[in-house]
Amino acid sequence: MTEADKPKRAIDSQGVRDVLKRVIAENGREHLKSYILAIICLGIVAGTTAFTAWIMESVINEAFGRSDSGMIWIICVVIFLTFVARGFATYWQAVLLLKIGNNIVAKYQRRIYEHLMKLSVGFYSESRSAQLAAQISQNISGIRDVLNMTVTSIARDFLTLIALIGVMLSKDWVLTLIVFVVAPPLMLGLRYVSKRLRAATRQSVEINSRVLGAMQESVQGIAVVKAFTMEDQLNSKVRVLIDDAEMRANKIARLAERTAPMTETFAGLAISCVLAYTAYMSLYQGALPGAFVSFVTALLMAYDPARRLARLQVRVEAAVTNARMLYEILDIEPHQRDVDGAKSLVTDNARIEFRDVTFSYGNGKPVLDRVSFVAEGGKTTALVGPSGAGKSTIINLIPRFYDPEGGSILIDGQDIAMVTKSSLREHLAYVSQQPYLFEGTIRDNIRYGRPDATDVQVEEAARLAYAHDFILAQPMGYDTPVGENGVTLSGGQRQRLSIARALVRNAPILLLDEATSALDTESEAFVQKALDTAMAGRTVIVIAHRLSTVVNADKIVVMHEGKVAEEGTHESLSARENGLYARLNNLQTVRTDI
C-alpha cells in the first residue's frame, strides 16, 4: 500500500455526515459572525416570502369581497416594503456567503500547498504531478460548496418551507394533509438517486483529472511531441479519456436531473388535488376564495424551496465527494518527520560518511547494498559507474529526499536522521542534471538559493558562475522574466543560473548530479569553469558519466550494482589491471579518439 492509499481508504469509509462535521469544525467558528448575519438575512427572505402568501387572503377578500379601498392601499404599501426588504436581504446574504466561500477556497489553497511541500519526494514519484494538480483544482471548491449549500438550504429553503407550511396549515389543514400524502415516495426516490450519484461523481472527478493531466503533460512536452510526430498517438489516447469523461458526465446528468420528473410529478399531483378541493369548497360550500388563494399561493411559493431541498442531498453528495477527495491529500502523513528531540546540524569541515547504507525504492530490489565510503571535508568525491549503479540514489539520500532502510549517513559524526531536515538542507547546495527555473525574473531565480541575499551578492554569484555577461545581454538584465522553466534561455545558460543559485547559498556541501552531461562543448566549458569556482573549499559529491570531468577529484568512488567496487584517485584506479574504472576509462578514451 502506497503513501496515499491508507488515508484514501479511511476517507472513503466516511459518510456525508462525517465529512460535514469535519468541514464545519474546521471552518464554522472562523466565520461564525458572518454566517449569523447571512442566516438573519436568509431568515428575512424566508419570512417575507411566507408573509406575501399569507397576506393574499386579505388582498382577495378586501378587494373582491368587501371592496375596502382604504385597506387595499395599506396592503399594497406593505407588500411593496416587504419586497424591498426581501431584495436587500437577498443581496447581503449572497455577498456574505460569496465572501466566506472565497476565503475558504483561499484558505484551503494555502493549506494544501503547505501540506504538499511537506510531503516526501517519494510521494511525488508515486503520483503524476499533472493529474495531482488537476485533481486539486477540481476538488478544492467542494468544501466551500458543502458549507454554503448547507447554510443556504437550512436558513433560506428550510425556513421558507416551514413558514409557508405554517401559512398553509393556518388557511386549511385538510389541504395541507393532502399535499403531504405523496411526499414519502418522493423522499425514497431521491435517496436512491443520491447513493448512485456519489460513486459516479468520484469516478467523474478522477477521469477529468486524468484528462487535464494528459493535456498538461502534452503541452509541457510539446517539443518531444512534435519531434517524434506523436500527435496522432496522443490524440487517440486523450480522445479515449475525453469520451470516458463525457460518458461519466452524461451519467451524472441523468442521475442528477432524475429528480426533476420526481419533483414535478409530486408538485403536479399535489396542486391538482388542492385546486379540485378548492373549487369544490368555493362552488358547493360558498366559502370565500381568499383563504384558498392564499393557500395556493403558499403552495406554489413552497415549490421552489421544496424542489431545492429535494435536490439538496444529491448536490451535497457531489460536493462532499469533492471535499472527501481533497481530504485524502490533506490526510497523507509525511514519511519523513523530524524525530523527537531532533537537533540542528552543526558542521565543522562537512565530512560525509556512509556506513553500510542499504536502500530500495519499495519494490524489494535493493538499489544500494551495504554502501560505505567517506567524502572528506573540503574535498571533491566523484561517483562514477554504469547506469543503474546507485549513484543518483546516493545523492538523493544526503538531503533526505529518501531515508535509508539500513545503515546510517553521518555529517561530521552526526547522523542526519537525528537532525532537523531544515538545518540539514541549509548546509547543502544542489545542482541537478536538468536545471529547473521558476516563474519570475533571473534575479528571483538566483535569490531562491538564499532569500535574504542582497542584489550585490546575487550579482557576485552570477559572476562566479560565468553568467553575469549573458544576463546583462538580456532585454531587462537581471529583471528579465525567464518564462516557463527558463524556456527563453539555452541549456547552458539555465545550468549556469542554477550554479549561481547554489553559489549564493554559500553552503559547505555541494551536490552535483551530472551537471554537464546534457550540454554542448562550448556550454560545458563555461559550466565547468563555474563548477570549478563553486567547488573550491567545499565538500563536493559529484556524479559524472564523462570521466574526463572528474580526473582531478580528490577521491573517486566506483559504483557497480549498488555496491562500492573501487575507491581511489584517477591515477591509481587507471593503473589497476582489469579494474572497472580502468575499463570504463579505456572505453571513453577509445570513443574520444574515434
Query: Grid coordinates standing for 182?
Result: 405523496
Tell me the chain's radius of gyration from C-alpha atoms.
Answer: 35
Rounded CA gap, 411 and 345, in Å? 8
User: Phi then psi for 286, rounded to 5 degrees?
Assistant: 70, 20
CB neighbour list of residue 439: distance below 8 Å, 6 or more residues apart = 481, 482, 484
Q: Note the pLDDT of residue 6.
A: 47
How far, in Å, CA of 509 to CA of 506, rounded? 9
Query: Is-contact 378 349, C-beta < 8 A?
Result: yes
CA distances from 85 to 41, 156, 160, 341 (A): 9, 15, 15, 61
Give every CB contact of residue 227 below 8 A, 6+ residues apart in sequence: none
Predicted local distance difference test score (pLDDT) of residue 7: 46
Mark 200-236 as b/e (b = at least 16 C-beta within 10 Å). bbbbbbbbbbbbbbbbbbbeeeeeebeeeeeeeeeee
- Nearest CA to 346 among 430, 419, 449, 399? 419
Q: Which three cell numbers stand for residue 537?
A: 573549499
Residue ranges per structural domain of the chain: 5-330, 339-427+508-517+539-594, 433-506
Query: Strands 509-513 and 428-431, how do they pair?
Result: parallel
CA distances from 2 to 126, 362, 403, 508, 551 (A): 8, 9, 16, 35, 42
Strands (DSSP E) contained in 222-325 are none
* Number of helices (H), then strands (E), in the chain: 24, 10
The rounded distance, in Å, linking the Cα atoms of 262 and 492 is 66
* Amino acid code (one letter) for 203: Q
Task: State the pLDDT at residue 228.
Answer: 64
Residue appearing with cell numbers 567524502: 375
C-alpha cell at 402: 529518501
Q: In this predicted structure, what is the pLDDT of residue 106? A: 86
Q: Does domain 433-506 have CATH number 3.40.50.300?
A: yes
Q: Is the Cα torsion angle 170, 175, 181, 183 positive or negative in sign?
A: negative
Picking from 48, 50, 41, the residue whose alpha carbon sits closest to that of residue 91 is 41
Q: Is 92 left (phi over 0), alpha (psi -120 to 50) or beta?
A: alpha
CATH topology match: 339-427+508-517+539-594 vs 433-506: yes
- 5-330 maps to which CATH number? 1.20.1560.10
**What proportions of the chain, in percent to the nearest 5, are helix, strand and coil?**
65, 10, 25
Beta bridge partners of 563: 560
- Cell readout for 77 is 404599501
Residue 65: the pLDDT is 58
Give the DSSP H/E element, type plus range, for residue 444.
Answer: helix 442-447
| HSE-up of residue 230 (Cα within 13 Å, Cβ side) | 14
Among 171, 179, 173, CA closest to 293: 171
Q: What is the mean pLDDT of each run of 10 residues along the chain (594 residues)?
A: 46 62 84 88 87 79 64 80 89 88 86 83 71 70 78 80 83 73 63 65 70 72 70 82 80 70 69 72 68 76 75 73 81 80 90 94 83 93 88 91 91 93 90 82 91 92 88 92 79 86 90 72 73 83 80 90 91 86 74 45
Q: How far apart are CA 460 and CA 500, in angstroms?
A: 9
Q: Which pLDDT belongs to residue 495?
A: 85
d(CA 170, CA 147): 33
Q: What is the DSSP letter of 516?
A: T
CB 456 within 8 A of CB 496: no
Cα separation of 535 and 65, whole Å? 101
> What distance in Å separates the CA atoms of residue 279 and residue 292, rounded to the nearest whole number?
9
Can you tell me whether residue 354 is helix, strand or coil?
strand
| Chosen CATH of 339-427+508-517+539-594 out of 3.40.50.300, 1.10.4160.10, 2.60.40.350, 1.25.40.80 | 3.40.50.300
The backbone region for 477, taken as left when phi is positive above 0, alpha when psi lies in -120 to 50, beta otherwise, is left
3-state secondary structure string, 306-349? HHHHHHHHHHHHHHHHHHHHHHHHHCCCCCCCCCCCCECCCCCC
Q: How many CB atoms lie within 10 A of CB 525?
A: 14
Say how far apart CA 52 and CA 49 lie, in whole Å: 5
CA 400/CA 121 separation, integer angstroms: 9
